Each structure stands twice: as C-alpha cells, then as structure tokens.
Amino acid sequence: MFRRFLNWFSNYGAGYARANQLGLRAIGVVYFIAFVSFLVQADGLIGANGILPFHEWLQAIRPDVAAVGYRFVPTLLWLSPTDTALHLTLWAGVACSVLLVLGIAPLLSSAALWLLYLSVTIVGRVFWSFQWDNLLLEAGLLAILASPWRWRMRWRAPDDPSRWVVFLFHLLVFKLMFMAGWVKLASRDPVWWHLTALKYHYWTQPLPIWTAWYADQLPLWFQRFCCFVMFGIELALPFFIWFGARARTLAAAGFVGLMVLIAATGNYTFF
C-alpha cells in the first residue's frame, strides 16, 4: 500500500504546467485589484490624517519591537513610516502585479508582491486583517514556490510545479472550503443546525446588493434546501480533491458555483 502511495504521489504534479501559468497570472489579477482598491482608501484609513494613522502606531511600538525583533511585525514601512512610502508600496504592488499577469520575472514578481502585501496588511491592522487578506498571503506564498525560474513565462514551456506545491495548493483549497463549513456547525448556532441561516443572511451580510432583496423573498423551504446544498459543497466536496482528476473537477465545479452564487447576492470584493 505504501508503494502504491509513492507511485501516486510521484505523478501528483504532472501535467500542471498550463494550469500553473494560468493560476499565477490569476493571482496577479487578484493582487492588482487588492492594491488598486487600497490606493483609494489608504489615506482615509491609515494615512497621517486617517482613522488609524499607521506611522503613530509604528512609532509607539518601535521600542518594544526593537527589543524582541522586527520579524514579529514584518513590514517594509519601518524604513520610512510616511504616507509617501505607503503610496510607493502600493504603486509598487500594482506594478509587480502587472508584471506577474504578463508573465515577466514571475519568481521575483510573486516574491515582491507577497512582501509588499504583507507590509501593507501589517500596518493596516483591523482594516486588513480579514479572511481574504490571510488567504491571499497564503496563496501568494505558494505562488512563489510555484513560479518558474525563468525571466518570462511561455505557454509551451514545461514548467510543471513541484508535486509538493500542487499538494499544498490542494490542501489550501481543502482547508478553506472545509473549515468554512465546519466553523458554522462548531459555533453551535441553531440557525445553522436548523438550516435557517439564509433567512437572515441576505439582509445581514456586510454589503447586500439589489439581488439580495429578491433572494430574501424565496420560500423558507427553498432557503433551507440551499443551506443544505451549501453544507454539502463545503463539507463533502473538499474530500473529492484527493480522489483523482474527475473527482477534483466535480469539486471545482461545486466550489466555483457556490462562489458565483455568493457573488450574485452580495459584494465580497476580491474575496
């Protein structure tokens, strides 16, 4: 059985060269959206005249951080805690994301993007500490490991990622989807256990859109059915990731379908 596992794992990353290139470019698009959206909000949120000025926070904690090590608060903005440096960091992120989308210097671009985004999320504190920020940082770290060692990605290049990188990407998706379902049940909230959460979801979500009103008018039996299907997608389909290409295709279809429906009834930005 162990030999069978080794044979299976030895071919785990084979045939992912094209998917890897598409995935890296797609992560570049997400980075681009994130950095551009921050550009128009940063001054009002963490700038010198913003709600939580980041330079005052860095100055206040500098003595303690210097004593224990800057690695505990890792941000490039220690070098220059100013609004100008913040703007340069965000614009550098925009530029590097464009390079990654174009497939130029993928390793350097993905590494720079991860470091720049980490720097911004650290000083952004409560404004940049959501699930999607951590998700992008984790996916961005894996993107570094998946990036080919060449100056330009080419569609016909045999740039299959390491089987370990493929495994880690699959593990990331498994963890994201399964834990999204498990945390609902672990909360012991009766609206999840009784499948009635969607009775409240559409008008209590952070940013409802106009379609949410119509979704809220659907009959309760249908709301409960949708909640049941959601649990099936989040708790059952993640295990399909580990059972071959056809099972993964089915899981992917379920995940994408769920995300499309979520986006159709709520504004979740680049999540």
Put residue 156 in one of left, alpha, beta given phi > 0 → left and psi -120 to 50 → alpha: alpha
**157: pLDDT strictly greater than 90:** no
pTM of this structure: 0.85
Domain chopping of the chain, boundaries = 17-159, 161-271
CB contact set of 85 (below 8 Å; sequence gap of 6+): 76, 77, 79
Could you tell me the pLDDT band of residue 149, with boundaries at 50, 70 and 90?
confident
Task: Identify the pLDDT of residue 248.
Answer: 93
Q: How far, CA to CA in Å, does 158 sit from each of 50, 106, 154, 234?
A: 48, 15, 9, 33
pLDDT at 142: 95
DSSP string, 112-143: HHHHHHHHHHHHHGGGG-SHHHHHHHHHHHHH
Q: Where do we find the tokens 């174009």?
A: 102
CA distance 221 to 236: 22
Q: How confident is the model at residue 267 (pLDDT cuts 50, 70, 90)?
A: confident
What pLDDT is attached to residue 3? 60
What sections of the chain are H helices per DSSP? 2-10, 17-39, 42-46, 54-68, 83-102, 106-124, 131-146, 163-186, 190-193, 198-204, 210-216, 220-231, 244-265
Q: What percent of the chain has pLDDT over 70?
A: 94
Residue 182 pLDDT class (50, 70, 90 cuts): very high
Q: Radius of gyration of the chain from Cα atoms?
A: 21
Q: Provide the pLDDT confidence category of residue 14 given band limits of 50, 70 and 90.
A: low
CA distance 260 to 103: 27
For residue 120, how far is the Cα from the chain centroid? Answer: 15
Other beta carbons within 10 angstroms of residue 79's beta carbon come to 9
Give Cα 95 to chain centroid, integer Å: 19
